[in-house]
Amino acid sequence: MSGGPGPDDVRDRPERWEVTGEETVFTGHVFGVRRDTVVMPRGEGTEGVGRDVIVHPGSVGILALDEHDRVLLLRQYRHPVAYLLWEAPAGLRDVAGEPLHKLAERELLEEAGYRADRWDTLVDVFPSSGMSDERVRIFLARGLTEVPAAEIDFERVHEEADMPVVWVPLEEAVRKVLAGEVHNMIATVGILAAHAARADGFGGLRPVDAPEG
């Protein structure tokens, strides 16, 4: 059919439908829940519809790739899904005003014990846009150097108390994602995006401080 959107129109854009009411339902340590009344179309008119929104500070993830095209993954217990998951390093946007790439540098150091010389923006995602306002920026980190544990001022406790690190060849990591062996959102999206970006030598990646849009 002609007259509708085409491939060139496929670009997410900000939009805000009218909200006639907001109610705070829950406030937790990391996230809260807000109930909005949103004006939505129905037939020839509109109606106010309740929508619960998980209010989240956002996060960053790091797809670390070494000189042998291996991906750094670490294992962490995730209570909500009752799994030990292989994940990419990640962290909450919990310091007001902190540049996202600086947060990513800190999380890579604290969780995995590495620094990187080269940072690029790999991909931006809304991991659960039907219920949460969380947004995640995943960075590609290269030029990696391991940092001695004595130089890292961070205590790993609770879920982070025992996080073994494994280097997985990128091609094998892709296979594991497609085989359903790796489930973590940041890891799966980051692995597939890095594999796609490698096709042109990572030339299409955005700079580390690119706006999120």
Active site residues: 160
Cα 104–chain centre separation? 11
Contact indicator for 56, 133 with CB cutoff of 8 Å: yes
Give the Cα separation of 205 and 10 in Å (integer).
19
Contact indicator for 36, 16 with CB cutoff of 8 Å: no
- DSSP H helix total and E strand total for the chain: 3, 10
Q: What is the CA radius of gyration of the chain?
A: 20
